[in-house]
Amino acid sequence: MALTGRAGLLAALGALVVLFAPRPGLAVLGIVLLLAFLIVVDLIFAGGVRPLRFSREGERLVRLGQSVTVGLIVENPGTRRVRGVLRDAWPPSAGAAPRRLAIDVPRGERRRLTVTLTPTRRGDREAVTVTVRSLGPLGLAGRQGRHRVPWSVRVLPPFLSRRHLPAKLARLRELDGQHPALVRGQGTEFDSLREYVVGDDVRSIDWRASARRNDVVVRTWRPERDRRVLIVLDTGRTSAGRVGTAPVPTAAGQAEADRTDQGDGRRRPPPGWPRLDWSMDAALLLAALAARAGDRVDFLAYDRAVRAWLSGAARTELLSSLVNVMAPIEAELVEADSPGMVAAVLARAKRRCLVVLLTDLNATAMEEGLLPLLPQLSSRHLVLVAAVADPRVAAMASGRDTSEQVYDAAAAEQLRGERRRITSLLRRHGVEVVDALPEDVAPALADAYIALKAAGRL
Amino acid sequence: MTLQTTERSYSVSPTAASIWKRGRAIVLVAVIVVVAAVVPVLLPSGSTGGGSALDPGDSSLAGSKALAQVLGAHGVSVQRVDDVSTALAALGTDGQLLITEATDLTSSEAGRIAAAPADRLIVGQVPYLDVLAPGVISEVGGTSSRSRPPSCGLREANVAGSAYMGGSAFTGPPGSTGCYPSDGKPTLVRYTVDGRTVTVVGDGQFMTNLRLAEDGNAALAMNLAGTKPRLVWLVPPAEPDQPSGPDGSGGSDGSGGSDGAGSEPKSLGELIPSGVGWAIVELVVALGVVALWRGRRLGPVVAERLPVVVRAAETVEGRGRLYRARRARDRAALALRAATIDRITPRLGLPRTATPDEIVTGVSARTGEDPEQVRPALFGGAPADDAGLVALAGYLDTLERQVQDS
């Protein structure tokens, strides 16, 4: 049961009547009884909420930053018209709009309502409940009831770095035999023989083959194919730190931007995106590129247990499977278990492959966790560590105006020195390192992959 | 991708039966509490009148209803009056006025009573005793009340015997009779002045319902109060009821209609028409309805497990604040110098293992700066103050830029 503002207005108008009534005490009693009677009548004649039947239709997937509509079909098998308001409750970060919908379903009919979801973060969003308030003919009171109408929408990573994909694919084709500028050397394998066309490098003419035919034939080369790439995503505590500026407005960013720092009173910059999301973006670009280059891509997310594992996806469906697997992953606030991660990688990668480890170059975490175990990994596989640098640290390091800024700059340089030290240690172990700012990490990782491929080190 | 549910929707709101099942225990407890609270109030209680002391209409232990009834049974008409004017009018010549310690008199009222040609019985410590009973002086300090023998020639006292007396002792005027002495001073004094018999008693407890049955209290009270066929019992005026809510104003309106022409000034509450009070009640009802309207949520509050929001740079900012708080110029300078050296050694074509001397010579050769100036900048001690640190950072920047540009 629920009352409306009209009932309150009626009660307030009753006060005027009481003011001028000859027997005010009786008038109050009469008005209260009348109001109660009208409310009861309204409740009796309001359409029933319990017999309503709901179903949903619409999208199940949405990229972060985009909107999606979900249809809600209301069927009224009852004996009375259901007129009132409906709220389709979703979690706040699903960004459901509008908050309440007007419904008017005559008996025996059905109506379709639409709710627009604009999610502000990744993951699965489950519809909570549908609440209907069915008002009576007088509009004084209504029946209210809730229904559970299951539906979930998976919010996928936005894959913003896909705008880099055409340029990187063009560079990949330069390696391939399809491009006129043939690059031949280590890491390329014999592809085919074809007729000589003007402009081809005369050094690539296969004289023996030409001798067998009446035509001049050249050899074409292409990079190695069917190599394996294993992308390992560290979902431990270091991935939870937020860096850069979020390309998609986040709920947390809004809340944080409105709050001022209590320490020094100045407004803090919005906290940006977690390292995890930037890493996912880079992983998606790398996976798209590697799939196009003919390599097989596997994906592992690990902190203290396997959070996600994707293997053997068909090339055409790799990206959609990957975003599906990535969508619900959140950074866990625990220290990543490096021995476990290395063991998981070794157990899964039987043959030599490129292990791309997306983590942070945190000095203590690296020295205690991964560094002692790297020889196990790098002896069997080629290891590439990609990390997201913090632009705020870079900004702090260039502060020179006041002593406060210089102290901050010293702290930032201290951190960058640690990162440089870790990077050189890793390189000494034969590990490739990509350390780039959030916006650049995806193309930088793609470049590193292409360079490795060109050098035939896969 | 457009899909449709195969799962059926189902209602999750409670049914009337489930609400009753859940709430019946609470309702039962509430009913028991209400019944327990209401029943004793509705049951006829032994006391009426609210326990005012020495009141002929009060049946509590402190009241004197028993005495009034006994007097009535012996043919004395007891008149309970709460107003001095009415009392004097009702007194006539064959009446006796009883003034107790509970009576609240003003000096002018005391004067009017003293001028009245009627007997007076003054019980307890009454103000303006010198006006009401001229010549009687109350001893300072008072005495304790207990059962005392009469020890005097007063017939009423002798007949009654011992009584519960005390309170204050008096010194009577010449010709007065004193009874029930305490340390030789009587606690009951009777004398005649201007043809009126005035009796002063130190303590009124012998007249209360509590003490009336003890000793000769009842006999003494009868003898003192029943000397005349009519007894006018002066009690304090009833507490004026505060007009609380519509009931008070409605009640005063009903009675105020008859004597509305009276010249007494009316209070603000009496001037407001009764409809206003009821209209406020109606507005409270409206407020309740509005509260129910606004208080009913359309569906539940949805809670969500949110990821932690922590900026990655916070540890660096914290370290910077620590440096600042401790004025750690040595560490700050060390970090800045190490960063500069890290960046310029590859530019100078030196290995990472280059010695300070090699670096200093390399830098000064490339930039043309004095080695004696370069060395303390790159490998010197901590700056003396913050200004020195800022200057050092600036100089390191300059060196780096010159190395890069050359």
Give the separation between CA A385 and CA A375, rounded to whole angstroms: 14
The pLDDT assigned to B76 comes to 85
Please state the separation of Cα A16 from the chain's center in Å.
Answer: 59
How distant is the Cα of B3 from the closest Cα of chain A, in angstroms? 5
Sorted by sequence, the CB contacts under 8 Å of residue A44 that are 6+ apart come out as A136
Residue keyed to tokens 């209907």:
A132
Residue of B nearest to A132 (CA): B298
Identity of the residue numbered A418: E
Task: Name the range with the highest mean pLDDT among A57-66, A199-208, B96-105, B203-212.
Answer: A57-66
The pLDDT assigned to B224 comes to 84
Check CB contact of A60 with chain B, cutoff 8 Å. yes
- pLDDT higher than 70, residue B263: no
User: Could you tell me what percent of chain B has a pLDDT over 70?
Assistant: 89
Cβ contact A273:A244 at 8 Å: yes
Give the separation between CA B23 and CA B111, rounded to whole angstroms: 68
Which runs of consecutive H residues, i.e. helices, occur in B257-273?
Answer: 268-271
- Residue of A21, A35, A407 with shortest CB distance to B275: A21
| Bond prior to A98 in cis (omega within 30° of 0) | yes
How distant is the Cα of B362 from the closest Cα of chain A, in angstroms? 22
Residues of A in contact with B1 (CB under 8 A): 59-61
- Residue A253 banded pLDDT, cuts 50, 70, 90: low
The pLDDT assigned to A366 comes to 87
- Report CB contact under 8 Å: A145, B397: no
Would you tell me which residues 323-382 of chain B have a C-beta closer than 8 angstroms to some C-beta of chain A? 323-324, 328, 331-333, 335-336, 338-339, 342, 352
- Report CB contact under 8 Å: B310, A241: yes
The pLDDT assigned to B352 comes to 83
- Closest listed residue to residue B402, CA positions, set B376, B365, B373: B365
φ/ψ bin of A97: left (φ > 0), alpha (ψ from -120 to 50), beta (otherwise): beta
H or E element in which residue B201 lies: strand B196-201
Mean pLDDT of B90-108: 80
- Residue of A54, A100, A252 with shortest CB distance to B309: A252
Q: Strand runs (DSSP E) across B150-184, as ranges? A: 163-167, 170-171, 177-182
- Residue B261 banded pLDDT, cuts 50, 70, 90: very low
Query: Which of A31-45, A132-146, A242-256, A432-446 bottoms out in mean pLDDT, i.e. has the lowest?
Result: A242-256
pLDDT in tens, A275-317: 999 999 999 999 999 998 889 999 999 999 999 999 988 888 9
pLDDT in tens, A358-380: 999 988 888 888 888 888 899 99
More confident residue, B25 or B118: B25
- Closest listed residue to residue A250, CA positions, set A223, A227, A273: A273
- Residue A63 banded pLDDT, cuts 50, 70, 90: very high
More confident residue, B183 or B375: B375
Give the separation between CA B190 and CA B193, rounded to whole angstroms: 10
- pLDDT higher than 80, residue B218: yes
Average pLDDT, chain B: 82
- Report CB contact under 8 Å: A330, B307: yes
Would you tell me which residues 212-241 of chain A have a C-beta closer than 8 angstroms to some C-beta of chain B? 240-241
- Residue B47 banded pLDDT, cuts 50, 70, 90: very low
More confident residue, B387 or B255: B387
- Residue of A18, A91, A145 with shortest CB distance to B304: A91
Query: Which of A115-124, A289-298, A430-439, B47-56 bottoms out in mean pLDDT, i.e. has the lowest?
Result: B47-56
Sequence-distant contacts of B392-398: CB under 8 A, at least 24 apart: B392/B333, B392/B336, B393/A400, B393/A406, B393/A409, B393/B336, B394/A400, B396/B336, B396/B337, B396/B340, B397/A400
Would you tell me which residues 322-361 of chain A have a C-beta closer than 8 angstroms to some C-beta of chain B? 330-331, 333
- Closest listed residue to residue A29, CA positions, set B244, B281, B292: B281
Give which of A31, A74, A406, A423 to mutate to test B binding, by max B Cβ within 10 Å: A406
Task: Name the range with the highest mean pLDDT among A262-266, B36-40, B265-269.
Answer: B36-40
Average pLDDT, chain A: 88
- Indicate the CATH number for domain A1-156: 2.60.40.10
Query: Which of A130-144, A361-375, A388-402 bottoms out in mean pLDDT, i.e. has the lowest?
Result: A361-375
Neighbour count for residue B112 (Cβ, 10 Å): 16
Q: Distance of CA A196 to CAs A14, A120, A189, A220, Å?
A: 100, 56, 19, 10
- Report CB contact under 8 Å: A271, B310: yes
> β-strand B230-234 against B95-99: which pairing, if any?
parallel
- Residue A42 banded pLDDT, cuts 50, 70, 90: very high
The pLDDT assigned to B83 comes to 81
The pLDDT assigned to B161 comes to 84
- Report CB contact under 8 Å: A144, B313: no
- Report CB contact under 8 Å: B290, A416: no
Q: Distance of CA B7 to CAs A150, A175, A403, Å?
A: 7, 52, 65
Q: Tokens representing B260?
A: 């509305």
How distant is the Cα of A64 from the closest Cα of chain B, in angstroms? 16
Mean pLDDT of A161-168: 93
SS3 category, B296: coil
Three-state SS sequence of chain A = CEECHHHHHHHHHHHHHHHHCCCHHHHHHHHHHHHHHHHHHHHHHCCCCCCCEEEEEECCEEECCCCEEEEEEEECCCCCCEEEEEEECCCHHHCEECCCEEEEECCCCEEEEEEEECCCCCEEEECCCEEEEEECCCCCEEEEEEEECCCEEEEECCCHHHHHHHHHHHHHHHHCCCCCCCCCCCCEEEEEEEECCCCCCHHHECHHHHHHCCCCEEEEEEECCCCEEEEEEECCHHHCEEECCCCCCCHHHHHHHHCECCCCCCECCCCCEEHHHHHHHHHHHHHHHHHHCCCEEEEEEECCCEEEEECCCCHHHHHHHHHHHHCCCCCCCCCCCHHHHHHHHHHHCCCCCEEEEECCCCHHHHHHHHHHHHHHHHHHCEEEEEEECCHHHHHHHCCCCCHHHHHHHHHHHHHHHHHHHHHHHHHHCCCEEEEECHHHHHHHHHHHHHHHHHCCCC
The pLDDT assigned to B262 comes to 45
- pLDDT higher than 60, residue B267: yes
Mean pLDDT of B153-162: 83
- pLDDT higher than 50, residue B256: no
Please state the separation of Cα A325 from the chain's center in Å.
Answer: 10
- For chain B, what is the radius of gyration of the CA atoms? 49
- Residue of B283, B299, B312 with shortest CB distance to A131: B299
Mean pLDDT of A123-151: 93
The pLDDT assigned to A259 comes to 53
- Residue B264 banded pLDDT, cuts 50, 70, 90: low
More confident residue, A104 or B175: A104
Identity of the residue numbered A457: R
- Closest listed residue to residue B392, CA positions, set B401, B403, B381: B381
Architecture field, domain A228-454:
3-Layer(aba) Sandwich (3.40)
- Residue B49 banded pLDDT, cuts 50, 70, 90: very low
Cβ contact A286:A165 at 8 Å: no
Residues of A in contact with B311 (CB under 8 A): 241-243, 268, 271-272, 392
User: Could you tell me what percent of chain B has a pLDDT over 90?
Assistant: 19
Residues of B in contact with A4 (CB under 8 A): 293
Sequence spans of domains, chain B: 65-234, 319-405
Sorted by sequence, the CB contacts under 8 Å of residue B369 that are 6+ apart come out as B363, B399, B402
Residue of A nearest to B398 (CA): A400
Give which of A6, A50, A407, A416 to mutate to test B binding, by max B Cβ within 10 Å: A407
Sequence spans of domains, chain A: 1-156, 190-223, 228-454
Task: Name the range with the highest mean pLDDT among A325-329, A332-336, B308-312.
Answer: A325-329
Mean pLDDT of A409-426: 93
Mean pLDDT of B59-65: 82
- Residue of B298, B300, B302 with shortest CB distance to A85: B298
Residue of B nearest to A272 (CA): B311
More confident residue, A185 or B119: B119
Q: What is the ipTM of this complex?
A: 0.76
First to last CA, chain A: 68
Residues of B in contact with A149 (CB under 8 A): 5, 9
Give the separation between CA B168 and CA B204, rounded to whole angstroms: 11
Mean pLDDT of B221-240: 80
Residue A110 phi/psi, 5° resolution? -135, 155
- Closest listed residue to residue A436, CA positions, set A361, A378, A366: A361
Give the separation between CA A294 and CA A178, rounded to whole angstroms: 14
The pLDDT assigned to B239 comes to 62
- Report CB contact under 8 Å: A403, B308: no
- Report CB contact under 8 Å: B282, A256: no
SS3 category, B137: strand
The pLDDT assigned to B316 comes to 92
- Closest listed residue to residue B208, CA positions, set B372, B74, B65, B349: B65
Residues of A in contact with B317 (CB under 8 A): 396, 408, 411
H or E element in which residue B146 lies: strand B143-148
The pLDDT assigned to A154 comes to 95
- Residue of B2, B316, B331 with shortest CB distance to A59: B2
More confident residue, B254 or A376: A376
pLDDT in tens, A197-248: 887 778 778 888 888 888 888 877 666 778 899 999 999 999 999 998 888 8
- Report CB contact under 8 Å: A406, B7: no
pLDDT in tens, B339-373: 999 999 998 888 888 899 999 999 998 888 888 98
The pLDDT assigned to B89 comes to 82
- Residue B33 banded pLDDT, cuts 50, 70, 90: very high
